[in-house]
Amino acid sequence: MALGLWPASAAHADSAVGGPIQRSEVISRAHFWTSQYLEYDQGGQAKDPQGRLYRTDCSGFVSMALHLSSSLVTQELPSVATQISRSNLQPGDFLDYTADHVILFDHWESDHEHFWYDTFGATPPHAAEADIDDSYIDGWPNGDYVAYRYDNIRDDSNPEVGRAHAVSIAGGQLYHTVRNVDGTWTGWQPLDAGGLSGAGAATSVTDATDGSGNLQVVAVIGGTIYHRIRYTDGSWSGWGSLGPGTQVSASIDRRANVLHLAAVINGTIYHRIRWADGSWSPWASLGAGTGVWISVDQAHNVVQMLGLGVNGTTGSLYHRVRNADGTWTGWGLVDGSGSVTSAAATADDNGNLQVLEVSGGAINHRIRYSDGTWSGWGDAGNGASAVAGSVNFTWNDMQTMVVAGGTVEHRVRNADGTWTNWAVVTPPGTATAIAISVV
């Protein structure tokens, strides 16, 4: 059996073996393997999220993602699928060169020409980008591929899509509200911290939604980091302690249902992972820093991080990337002004990272494009003390919230780059921190 460097998860399967399966589950299963370092071996096997074994090659990978009853080979996959037009490719479909290779279609980019796919044609399984008109895709002639749709695949139906969950701190208390798809807000509701030793002393908060609409909240309360979950039926788990800390930031890999958490603990930046089965990795130290913000870049299967006060600096903002194999790049300077006090990072489904910062009270915005280049800074407002942002994968806009003068304000950066006006979302007290995450 091929062994991964990361632990396997006993995640719940929405589908039965060989039965109907939603597109989001196909992609989630694929990313269960691409999040591990598995060796390509046509004679080897590896486990799916439920422990079922599949062959560790390209067609075994696609068979695993589709939750088939066995590991088919490339010549056999068309027997469980229907040929489709390439222009109709959707997440979970596949491109099959029956003589040699198959890849799983992940998603289109906005031009509907470039796309991302998941592949296990070599070690390790990974995501990659291509143009639908490239001469070669994943090392094989483009013209040899035929597009197929699994006969048991189903479109997703999720009423949570497009909703935004915001969590604020006001008067040391935590509050939660939801922005509905029509733009209306529910009222702020207190997040019970009863029984915690630091109840009433919240200082930092972050939230992250998965693709189903479950919300994970991490907060620093009385100097201790706590974690809890709001399920789609509106019920909440209890708080779980993660040890001491001063500031937190979280982001979810929606396809693998894995939470990445960054924190500042005693002046050092740390990172850890909550796996799909609810277990946690140990904290990993990333060096000195006073602030940290992260976002999972699902297009590239990496984690992008912003750090404040790293390398012994004060008020300067830096950026780095956690690669798919778990290694980190070095820090690169994003803003050396020395006046940055807050920031936010949120990646869209094409791998572009939207960056927000508060510098001298001004709200600034820039983009790190998927090719690694950066835009210049743009003005997004002023008078803020804290900022948060989250990209809506459905419409590719960015929901933005700030704390300004003790109140909370919200605006949207539309997909075309224009901004809506600021609107006040009055909190039940003097606000000091804000987080937002869009389903």
* pLDDT tens digits along 223-278: 999 999 999 889 999 999 999 999 999 999 987 889 999 999 999 999 999 998 89
What span, in angstroms and rounded, lies between the C-alpha atoms of 313 and 336?
9
Is the per-residue pLDDT at 387 higher than 90?
yes
For 21-154, the fitting CATH number among 3.40.50.12280, 3.90.1720.10, 3.40.50.2300, 3.40.50.10490 is 3.90.1720.10
Query: Backbone dihedral region of 377: left (phi > 0), alpha (psi from -120 to 50 degrees) or beta?
Result: beta
* The domains spanning 21-154 and 164-438 adopt the same CATH topology: no
pLDDT digits (tens, 9 = 90+) for 156-173: 766 677 789 999 999 999
Q: Tell me, what's the pLDDT at 7?
A: 30
Is the per-residue pLDDT at 422 higher than 50?
yes
The full set of domain ranges for the chain reads: 21-154, 164-438
What span, in angstroms and rounded, lies between the C-alpha atoms of 130 and 123?
19
The residue among 162 and 310 whose pLDDT is bigger is 310
Is the per-residue pLDDT at 139 higher than 80?
yes
Fold held by 164-438: Neuraminidase (2.120.10)
Tell me which amino acid residue 221 is. I
The closest of 191, 113, 101 to 140, measured between CA atoms, is 101
| C-alpha torsion sign, points 49, 226, 386, 436 | positive
Residue with tokens 């031009």: 111
Angle at 415 (CA atoms; ends 413, 419), nearest 5 degrees:
25
Residue 334 corresponds to which tokens in the numbers above?
Answer: 């994003």
Question: Helices 58-65 and 23-34 meet at what angle, rounded to 10?
Answer: 140
Tell me which amino acid residue 324 is. A
